[in-house]
Each structure stands twice: as structure tokens, then as C-alpha cells.
Structure 1
Amino acid sequence: MKIGMIGLGKMGANMSRRLMNDGHEVVGFDLDEKAVQELESDGADGATALDVLVGQLDPPRVCWMMVPAGEAVDATINEVLPHLNAGDILVDGGNSNYKDTLRRADRAKEAGMHYVDVGTSGGVWGLKEGYSMMVGGPDEAINHLRPAFETLAPGPDKGWGHMGAVGSGHFVKMVHNGIEYGVMQAYAEGFDILQAKEEFDLDLKDVAETWRFGSVIRSWLLDLTARALDDDPDLPDIAPWVDDSGEGRWTVKEAIDLDVPAPVITDALISRLDSRAENSYTHKLLAAMRNQFGGHDVKASDE
């Protein structure tokens, strides 16, 4: 199938390449012309503007947005919507708040178009390993997009699922990221305890490698932790500043609204906020883990 990919950052560009590697056609657009040119060199068609991108697609047109959550999504919709027709499909694959997704879906429906939300996990490793995708939207649109989902996922029948009505994909991804906060926090605190036991002079990389196989706490996140510890377990070049991109906050707020206790996720969020005012190994390792799985920037220790 042919897809218009809007936003060619770390996720959008690699998703485009994974699609093309499996025979799909991609028309790419980004505000950064260099990103478009790089994707063109890999076999995509480039577009200089969103109306040009739409003009290169076949009905029902699929415009897949991989832009930062918030105003950028609304700005993109405002620009592309006038060029689409009834039956076309708008996909938001970013980390949008599900409440914003519901609002945007109503607008698309009024214009006779389908709106699909795809909570996407996989980070910088998705090109090779595939992406986990939590999909929300109408059956008709999901069935049309199925070939793309089967290509982008780790396998045609695994790693992606139709969660339910529009908004459900981003809701599930929000909770996924909240869980991620808690798991990362537990790993980072555990390794902080290990490091503090100076009398044993523990090799943290060796500990991580031991836990990776057979242990009940083995995981891909632990694999990435071992990778982060490989160069220098003291993480001298990383400042203990851990950013948050919003989903953890939304998860905590939703838990409060639903009267669901979520102390681990909440504490992990508070720890990230606290990291900006103190110096600890726990927060250094949290920052390193975010860099490993998502390519998220870290602050240098001298910043």
C-alpha cells in the first residue's frame, strides 16, 4: 500500500524504511528538507508540502502523522484536512493524549474521514525489531491499514492489536508508558543499592548480564540497561536529570479520576521531577535507559 508519512524524525523515518523494506510505497514530508532528502535516497517519494503529499496518494488516502504531541498535531490536521476527501484516513502515531484524540476524531468524522490512533512503542530499535502498536479506530479503517500494521509489527500476528474505538490506542499507550516509568524506576533503584555496597565491589554490568538469562526479572529493558552499563557503569558523562514526555503524568491523573491507586507509577513520576533538583546514580541510570530504548537526549554532566 501507499502511505504518506508526515514527520520524519527518529520514529517516522525508520517506520517509513521498515514499510519500504517490505514493499510498501511511502511519500515523506518533514519541515526539515534534509530529512526528506535522506528518505528519498532510501527509495521514498518526497513532498515539499502537505498538499503535494496528498496529491501523490491514491484513494482512500492514508496520511500517517508522526509529529510531537500537542499543537503540532492540530497544526498538521489544520493544514492537511482541506486537501483530503471523504473516506480518507488520518493516522496519529504519536504520543497524543487520548482526550485530544477524541476531539480530533470528531472533527475528522464531520468531514467524512476516518481517524485512527496508534500508540507506538519501539523507539530507535523499531526499524530492526519491529514496533508494538496499540490501535484505536473504526473497523473499516483498521482493516485497510492491516498490511501496514503487519509490516511494522515484530510479526504479522504479534506486537500489534486493535484495542477498540478511536482513542483506545492512545489510552492503552498512555498506561503502557506509566508502567514503563515504574519498571525503570525499580531497576535504577536496585542498581543504586548494588553500587552503594562498596565492600563487595560489585560489577554492575556483570550483575545485569547474569539477570538477563533465566531470571524472573529479565526483560528487554534489562538488556538495554546492561548495554548502558557496558561503557562505564559510573555513567560519568550523564547528568542525573530525567525528563518526562507527559504520558506518566496523564496516567497518574487518569488513575486519580478513576479512583484507582497507582502508587508505584506515581512515585516513579515524582522521582523524575525530583531528579531535577538532586544528584543521584538512580537518576543517571534512568536517563541512560531512556537514551538506550528511545534515543532520548541526555544532559551532559557538566550542563
Structure 2
Amino acid sequence: MELGMVGLGRMGANMAQRLVQHGHRVVGFDPGPQAREQASQRGIDAVGSLDELVDALAAPRAIWLMVPAGETVDRTLAELRPRLAAGDVVIDGGNSYYQDTVRRAKELAVDGIAYVDCGTSGGVWGLAEGYSLMVGGDEAAVERLRPVFEALAPAPDRGWGRVGPSGAGHFTKMVHNGIEYGMMQAYAEGFAIMERKHEFGLDVARIAEIWRHGSVVRSWLLDLSANALQRNPTLDGIAPFVADSGEGRWTVAEAIALDVSAPVITLSLLERLRSREGDSFADKLLAAMRGEFGGHAIRHS
């Protein structure tokens, strides 16, 4: 299958490369010439404009967006829409707000263009290990894209699936990230308690490694925490500033709207906001974990 990819940043390029490795043709566009050059070296057919991208794909086309959520998605769709035709499908693989996704799907449906939302998890490790894909949209459109999802997932029969209509994929990814906030906060607080128990002289890096095997709290996030602590046990040089991408805020707002009690997720979000005002070992570890699983930039003190 052939696919267009708009946005050849780190994650977009990694996803495109994984597709190429599985025998799919990917035509990619990015406004940055350096990103296009690097994509070409990965086997992606990089082009210099949206016109070239659309022309290079046989109808009906499938175009995957990996651009920042918000106005950039709307701007990209505004540029793409007159170049597309009925039967084409656009996939939004970013962290868009699900209500924006519902709106966009309705707008494109007027022209007979399907809009599929794909909540994507896996970070910088997805190229090698595969991505978790939470897909929303029309069943027929999703089924048409099955070869793409099967190639991107850890295996054709696991790690991906259609979770509902348009907006459901991004809604599910939003909640996924809210849960992630809570899990990360619990790990960070636990390790901070152990780090503060000076009379025991606890080796937190060694404890993280012990917990990775057989423990009921073992997880991929713990694996990443162990990696970070092995390299830098005291987290020297890492500023205790923890960013948030917005999905935790959306999850908390949705919980309030639905009258669902979500204190752990809510407090973990508030802790990230608090991290911007002070200094703590827990916040340094949270920042280190984000760097491990997503390649997110770490602010250095």
C-alpha cells in the first residue's frame, strides 16, 4: 500500500520508515528541507510541496498527518482539502483534541473525504517495537487502512484496533495519557521517598532494577526509570520542570464534565504545574522519564 505522510519530524519519520521496512511506499512532505533530506535517506519518497505529494499518490489517496495539534492541523487540512477528492482518506496521528476531530470529520465528509483519528503511543521506541494505535472513524475507511495499522503495530493481530467512530481514537489516547500522568507521578513520588531516607543509603537505581523483574509494579515506565537512574542516579543537571502536552488537562476536564472522580490523574496534573515553581527529586525523575519514552527535551539546570 502507498501512503502520504505530512510531517517528517522524529515521530513522523520513524513511522514512515517502519512502513517502508514493511514493504509500503511512503511519499512524505515536510516544510523543512533538512527533514526531507533525512527522510530520503530512510527510504521515504520526500517531496517539496503538498501538490507534489498529492500528485504522487494514486487515487483514492490516504494521507497521514503527523503535525502539532491545534491550528497547525486545521491549516494543513485547509491546504489539503482543495487538492483531495471524494474517496480519499486523511488520518490524524497526532494528539488532537477529540472534539476538534469530530468537527473536522464532519467538515471533510461534505466532500466525501473520510477522516480517521489514530491515537498513537510508543514514542521514540515505536520504530523498533511498534506503536499502540487507537483508531476512530468510519469502519470501511479503517478497514481499508488495515495494512498500514498492521505494519505500524507491534504485530498485525495486537496493539491496534478501531475503538469507535470519529473522535473515539483521540478520546481514548487522551485518557491513556491521563493514566500515564498518574503512573509516572506514583513512581516519581516513591523513588523520592526512598532517596530522602538517608540513614539507609538506598541505591534507588539498583532498587529500580530489582523491581523490574517479578514485582507487581513492573512496567515499561519502570524500565525507563531504571535506565535513567542507571545513567544518572542523582539526576544531576536535570531541572525539576515537568511539561504537559495538554492531554492531561483535557482528561481532567472530561472527568469533571462526566461527573467521574479522577483524583489521581487530577493531582498528577497539578503536580506538573507545581513543578514549575520549585525543586524536587520527583520532578527531575518525571522529566527524565519523558525524555526516555518520548524523546522529549529535558531542561537542564
Instruction: Report the TM range for the smaller structure's normalisation.
Output: over 0.9
1:140-180 Cα shifts (integer Å, max 9, x gaps): 11111000000000000100010010100000000000000
The alpha carbon displacement at 1:31 in A equals 1.3
Q: Deviations over 1:233-287 (max 9, x none)?
A: 1111110000000000000000000000000000000000000001000100000
Distance 1:41 1:232 in 2: 33
Instruction: Name the structure 2 match of 1:2.
Output: 2
Deviation at 1:75, TM superposition (A): 0.6
| Structure 2 SS opposite 1:46 | strand
Q: Is the 8 A contact 1:116 1:166 kept in 2?
A: yes
* Identical counterparts, % of pairs: 60
- Are 2:118 and 1:118 aligned? yes
**2: CA distance between counterparts of 1:232 and 1:42?**
32
Q: Which residue pairs with 2:271 in the alignment? A: 271
2:60 aligned partner: 60
Structure 1 residue 29, shift from structure 2 partner: 0.6
Q: Which residue of 1 aligns with 2:139?
A: 139
Cα deviation, 1:200-223, whole Å, max 9, x if unaligned, reads 111111100000000000000100
Give me the whole-angstrom Cα distance separating, in 1, the residues matched to 2:42 and 2:172.
Answer: 33
Supply the distance in 2 between the matched residues of 1:42 and 1:121 (Cα, whole angstroms): 21
Give the aligned partner of residue 86 of structure 1: 86
Structure 1 counterpart of 2:96, which letter?
S
Give the equivalent residue in structure 2 for 1:215. 215
In the TM superposition, 1:1-303 aligns within 5 A as: 1-301=1-301
Deviation readout 1:51-94 (Å, 9 max, x if unpaired): 11010001110110000100110010000111000010000000
**With structure 2 as the length reference, what TM-score do the two structures score?**
0.99
Would you say how many aligned residue pairs link Structure 1 and Structure 2?
301
Note if contact 1:10-1:123 (Cα within 8 Å) is conserved in structure 2. Answer: no
Q: Distance in 1 between matches of 2:6 and 2:35?
A: 11
Distance (Å, rounded) in 2 between the aligned partners of 1:158 and 1:34: 34
Aligned-partner Cα distance in 1 for 2:127–2:46: 20
Q: Give the distance between the partners of 1:75 and 1:91, measured in 2 at CA.
A: 15
Runs of 4+ with >4 A deviation: none
Distance in structure 1 (CA, Å) of the matches to 2:107 and 2:272? 35
The amino acid that maps onto 1:20 is V
User: By how many angstroms is 1:298 displaced?
Assistant: 1.1
Tell me the TM-score normalised to structure 1 length: 0.99
* Paired residue secondary structure (1:15): helix
CA distance in 2 between partners of 1:42 and 1:93 (Å)? 20
